[in-house]
Structure 1
Amino acid sequence: MMLRLFDFFFALIGLLFLWPVLLIVTVIGYFDTGSPIFRQTRVGKNQKPFTLIKFRTMAPDTASVATHLASASSVTKLGAFLRKTKLDELPQLINVVKGEMSLVGPRPCLFNQEELIAERDSRGVFDVLPGITGLAQVNEIDMSTPKLLAEWDQKMIQTLTVKLYFTYIIQTATGGGAGDRIKN
């Protein structure tokens, strides 16, 4: 319950203070792809669907697949910058305020990632809200290794404390983790 209060408070503060950045990236994104906001149905808590909001980093006609299965040529120049700086994740603060996500939790997957869903389901990972960052992300473990990712997600859930919650956020904000791999 306390972490949900932290989520709501910090996401709301983030949106209030970062709205100029959100606006600038949105405007530049219109020139980059013509469609700067990316919405995609993802697997949420208790495997319920929700619409994830991000800044678009790939061409609008890119297939809806896990990032590690997408071609590197699909990533735009602005998209590469947004991914590197993790600015593409900022709109997810809206998902956090709405209660669909947490700042810290397992990254939400796609419904077609059946192996990852099965691994997470067997480990109780869907009992919590998905997050913007977490233990696996700051250790550069992504969805290309479903079993390992589910194991690290479970470990994070079982050991999460207020101190670790803030540690993962700080590690992410200061450059920890590399994000999901892109197929070359």
Structure 2
Amino acid sequence: MYELYFKRLFDWLFSFFMILILFIPFIIVSILIKIDSKGSIFFMQERLGKNKIPFNVYKLRTMSHKKRKIEQVYKNDAEITGVGYYLRRFKIDEMPQVINIFLGDMAIIGPRPCLPNVLEKYNLDDYRFKVRPGLSSIAGVNGSIYLSWKEKWWYDKYYVENLNFLLDLKIFLKTFLIIFQGEDKFINKPKL
């Protein structure tokens, strides 16, 4: 019942109010991005959503404006701008994804949306595409960048098979700890 009705309603209400609340901080951050480097304020990239339907995920641009190959970027990448470092560290670059949540492309909690080439490269199981991808995820609150793809997918499968309100609430609350304390404080590798 939660997954079918209440989760989407909660996501929509949450994203609506977050868009209103974040409007002024978004303007300030946008100005900082433009002062720090050339290029667009936004970074958009195609990702796969529920049922493998592609959509454009919205983020604040944290890297130089140069064209680059689509790949996973880590925190020490030389292309990350000065402002971009802090936007990434405190997850502020993810802020525009409340628009994706509002539109129904994403949920607050769910597996992180993957790049189409990740699907091709690793031949992902379909279970992670049974739900909307999330702004935060169970893998994200258990080490995220410190986990292998196999470990992330294990967490994704666990999430899909155990989706309920209390699990979403736990992930939601733990997300705030990660924002303030850092991902490296919460590494929890699954026993595969």
TM-score normalised according to structure 1 size:
0.87
Alpha-carbon displacement from aligned partner over 1:71-104 (angstroms, at most 9, x marks no partner)? 6101111111001111111100000000000010
Asked if 1:178 is matched to 2:183, the reply is yes
- Give the structure 1 partner of residue 159 of structure 2: 156
Of residues 1-10 and 163-172 in structure 1, the stretch that sits farther from structure 2 once superposed is 163-172
Shift of 1:153: 0.3
State the alpha-carbon separation in 1 of the partners of residues 74 and 31 from structure 2.
Answer: 28
Partner residue in 2 for 1:16:
20
Corresponding residue SS for 1:74: coil
Q: CA deviation at 1:171?
A: 1.3
Residue 65 (structure 1) shift:
2.4
Closer/same/farther in 2, CA of residues 120 and 24 from structure 1, 3 Å limit? farther
The answer to whether the Cα contact below 8 Å between 1:29 and 1:78 also exists between their aligned partners in 2 is yes
1:75 and 2:80 correspond: yes
| CA pair 38-68 structure 1, distance change in 2 beyond 3 A | closer
Q: How does 1:78-117 map to 2 (within 5 A)?
A: 78-113=83-118, 114-116=120-122
Counterpart contact for 1:106–1:129, Cα < 8 Å: yes
CA deviation vs aligned residue, 1:31-74 (integer Å, no higher than 9, x gap): 12332111111111111110000001111215242324796101
Match of 1:67, SS state, is coil
Relative to structure 1, the CA distance from residue 17 to residue 5 in structure 2 (aligned partners, 3 Å threshold; closer, same or farther) is same
The alpha-carbon distance between structure 1 residues 120 and 59, as it changes in their structure 2 partners (threshold 3 A), is farther
Match of 2:55 in 1: 50
1:136 aligned onto 2:142: no
Q: Between Structure 1 and Structure 2, how many residues are aligned? A: 176
Higher Cα Rg: structure 1 or 2? 2
* Residue correspondence of structure 1 range 115-130 to structure 2 within 5 A: 115-116=121-122, 118-121=123-126, 124-130=127-133
> What is the root-mean-square deviation in Å for CA atoms of aligned residues?
2.1
Indicate how the Cα distance of structure 1 residues 70 and 141 shifts in structure 2: closer, same or farther if over 3 A, else same. closer
In structure 2, C-alpha distance between the alignment counterparts of 1:133 and 1:160, rounded to whole Å: 14
Comparing 139-148 with 167-176, which one deviates more in the overlay? 139-148
The runs of 5 or more residues in structure 1 that have no matched partner are 180-184
SS at match of 2:78: helix
Aligned to 1:169, which of 163, 168, 172?
172
**Residues 94-142 of structure 1: CA distance to partner in whole angstroms, max 9, x if unpaired?**
00000000010111111111234x2242xx1111111111110000134
Cα pair 1:84 1:178 within 8 Å, conserved: no
Aligned residue identity for 1:167:
K
> Which amino acid in 1 is paired with 2:121?
E
